[in-house]
Structure 1
Amino acid sequence: MLRIKLNELAKGNDNGLLQTEVWKWDGIGWNEYVPQQEEDFIRADDDLFVTIPAEAGLYRVDYYIKPLEPLQFLDEAEVSGLRAEVLHPAPFKTKEGTLWGYINNEGRTAIEPRYEYAEDFQENGLAIVQRKNSSGLIDSSGREKVKPIYSFISPFAEGRAVVSDAKGYTLIDEKGREVTAARYDYLNSLHEGRALFSRQSTTAGGSRYGYIDAQGKEVLPAVYLDAGDFMNGTALVKAAEGEYALIDLNGAVLHTYKHPFVGNPGDGLLAYQETENGKYGYLNLDGSVAVKPQFTSALPFSEGRAVINTAEDYGNAYGLIDKQGKPIIPATYYEVQQLGENRVALGTPVYADQPYRGSRYVIADAVTGRVLSNHPLLGVNNYQHGLASVYDAKDTYFIDKSGKKASQPPVIAGSGTLSFSGSLIRADIDQRTAYYDRRGKQVWRQNGVIPLRPPYSVLEKKYKPNRDYLVYYPVIEGIADIEVSKTVNSRLRSLSKAEGIGSGGIAQDFSYTGDFAVEFFRKNLLVLELSGYNYPFGAAHGMPTMLYEHVNLRSGRFYTLSDLFKPGSRYVEKLSEIVGKQIANDPQYSYVFPDTYKGITADQPFYVDEEALYLYFAPYEIAPYAAGFPTFRIPYAEIMGLISTEGDFWQSFH
């Protein structure tokens, strides 16, 4: 490791902050940002250092003095509606796992953490929360207004929310009353008093679409092959193969379009194909041609402009056109994102020969096509009130409409998003949540210490050697024997994969995220869940991993499945039989591949709690990927004859 002293650079610069960045050459350019973690960026006795990793390569250190800019604040008119108390959803790490509650504007807990997930409060004073994998509604006092009985609840729109359960989809009002007599295969939110639904046709086969009103009445029957939401009093429906129509709220046909494909209207134009698998152009609402077919894909118009693609063979050559089809931004970009407020993000691959690894973006004026800022961004969100949340290789922050860093704080190291939440700013950075006031002062952040009982606690540590590798791993504090403590925590760090990764770049062909949670704690036994997700760049999906480590806090011993049972017991045979019966008789395991289950192994992945033993399998092992980790609960009462109740494992939590 090379440490460079920076004191001389900072002298005489009292009106600004010394900013430093370390970059590594990746064979193409200076594209790899080298993070300066806390232990590598040291200020002691007025000495300031920056460090270069002990890894072969070409490195560059940039430094500059950033002026102390005046803070940007909303004026009195803008904040007048923000002074009322607003509650904000916040995740807490606890010994029962990560639970969500709500904080107030001062960062104090207003509703205790007890939910598996919690969303923002809506204008009607209700918030969607989850308990036991089901969704319900609460008010700002934390009282349940709708019990958590649904698998899904959408945000309210026009006084109604879409909910679903095992029977299908329906609408509820703000008192939680279901307003439809029937359940539907699909149901969308209300738009202009109409909600799109679908049901299986008993005569023609396949799904058919129709519309219900706010009272749940089917005002337009399910006769359409496809349909969209109402907007400005009209909706596009597919009446038959090769025939689309624009209808009004009562179902009257306003215009008919006989083409193989017609897309939803935007700004009075509709994308269409003149021939099957042909090029795309745009129609006026009356069916006349506005822009002749010439594009390989065409998105809906917004703010008078549309994103189009001209590349053949599913390539990427995106640009921006006006309503006459004239190019505003040439079709040469890998990505073009409309951000609202007359701004677009233009994306080019970070690695030209591996475009699937993501883009770097610059901001352009959507009216003139002029690039406003060439600073490369790695993530961009839509504009709202003149600001957009972005992140680059180093920080997450707001940009203004010039495309440059805004004076509105905060600026936070890491990758993520900033969003306004009442009078606060919510920061979701590197998979952790914090809140800041409008001056950039942090008022709350997710806790990094999980108290167990004195003297034990679990400390969260972060390992992020590069932007494609992020792990939060546990450190157990309070183990009396120092050497045992070191051994335990070294093993946990290794199992969490929080070591041995370089600075990333083109040589690293995957991304990885890891995290942990306390699954169970009782007496001397701590059960930690270590989860991970490995995504090979370019793959259809990544592969999740999950380990449960059972640690005796007094001895530092890690328990295995066999430690739970009497020596010589035939626990593998008995547990295999129990799991086999559950697969055969319990409908919830109908997804298990036929004839794939052959029994468990002696070291089968497992975890325990107060009442039962849980055995689980990895994705694809006995079931489809979508099934996740098939898990089987075995109450201790079923296997007490096999358990070594005098053994160290059992006694650690009894």
Structure 2
Amino acid sequence: MNRLTPFMLFMMMILTSCNTTDSNDYITAIPYQETEDGMWGMITTEGEVLFSKEFKNEPTVVKDGMFMVRNEDNNWEIYKAEKKPKKIGSEYTAATLFCNGRALVCEKDNYISIIDTDGKTIKTIDKIDGKPVSRVLPFYEGFAKYMTDECYGIIDKDGNPIIPADYCLITDCSDGKFIGVNKKYSTYYWNNHLDNIKYTVLNTMGEILFEIDGTEYNQVTKFENGLLPVYISNGNTEMWGIINEKQEVVVKPTKDIMGIIEIRNNMFTFYNKDGWGLMTTEGKILIKPKYNTLSFDGDDRLQAYYLYKDGKGHVKFIDINDNQLGKETFSYATKFSELDNTHSLVQMQDNSWSIINDKYEHVANLPKIANAEYKLGDNPVECNFVDIAKILDKLQISQNGMEGVTFQSSPKTVVEKLIKYRDNEDHRYPKASAYWFQNQSIYEYYKTINNLYASVEIEFYGDMSRAISDPKEAGNKDVKWYKNDMGISYAYLWNDEKIKSFRLEFANDAMMRGKLSRMLDELKKRFKKAGRVVKENDGAIVIALDNYKTAFIYMKPKKVVATWGDIGYPEDFNISEYDGIKEDLSNKIYEEEYGEN
């Protein structure tokens, strides 16, 4: 069975909740094909064909009587789900499904907006508290998370701010509450120093109800039915339990519970080394842990998934006593609660598709369904307006380096400054330990700035760190010593290498799509001020920098790259292949784009 770390569990709660439907906000129709390569139609959950063979590209499901489909320019178009679909609004680079009459959308080169089911703009979300909004997640329980300055806040269905963007993480609204980690604890949280943080619990008015100290509970998820799963670590042992809104212990954390996802009617799904099962808050096991996943589908029904030795997954519906509901198992099945609470879209073991009702009977008179999909909208919706000059200002790009790092910076300095941009699920050693960087000379990370993604590589002349076993090698340096199973002491030591070069890349995905030429021109302009142009054409430039290093900026069909440092003599570069280059706006992925300089 696969194990879930506390961080993975917390992120699962954040991500999965975004696609859960409100009780009065159901999915009412599903896109389908009558033949494998045919056009797409739409069928209701009750089996009525709304239309058939209408769209070349796959539509989303229908919510609030609306659905979306990508056009040939890869932009969303929104339609009313009628016998003859009627288009509303404009075209959008990103959009969510409708939820209670509201959807989040973004037009090309524009800010995020909220629209109604007629396509009318309710509010444009360009700035909140004077700061540009880079992304907004789908509405959930009438509220949505937004991001500005890489922190999260909350808005209501009309775009009014409820909670300021003071949190490096915050859950969706659940049980009328939000749980966040204040940005002042960001470094501690991302470095897994959970004893140093506090979780803030807020209501839908934005009022702080109470805080949960990380020294007491290292990790929490979200409230359900007034109860909250919590995690504590006892050495290498993961223990989960449950507390209530008064922070009273309802289920004492124990090593037999290594994960808790859902709570309903004083029952909860839990995980341990044997798999997922079901237990009451009084400690009675209703379903022994054995499934690969187990989740509630209503109050007294669950959806269970089991992976057999033949590698095939089987889905079935069960009651709280593990009795199978209906006689069939499926390769895939939506929850009833994900649709209209009375139907489920299922894929049979022979790969055919069908719809069943809550008596686990197949809906009568269905058309032939060669393929059906459960396609949702975007999550998140990202702002498409880009101020490229401000983006590069935030990266602090200069001929001597970027982000406060220069050619004279040591590996230790680079890691300490930039470690927050790297993920690490292995907590055997601290995130910024020299252990992670032995035998590697390149430090790489990805960064999001106002919803724009940058890939960075910093190359050193030699390895960043090394393992040592002789204390004499450490000298006067403060290092932490470990012992292996043989009793041999060892430690990890930073090397004194200097930086050889920097490499910055922007791909034409998300909000950079269609903007590569603008990025290329801005990078050219900045580096021209720092040296002498040796070679230049429409798609590339080579500059002899004033610090006796070289800068090479170029554009490929799917990306723009700037690399500078000790990368060769300017006169030796051949830039003819970049002359007349154009950005490719198709969805095609270039294999030759990977692994090149």
Task: Give the TM-score normalised by the residue count of structure 1.
Answer: 0.45
Task: Give the TM-score normalised by the residue count of structure 2.
Answer: 0.48
The structure in which a higher percent of residues are strand is 1
Say which structure, 1 or 2, has more relative contact order (CA 8 Å, 6+ apart).
2
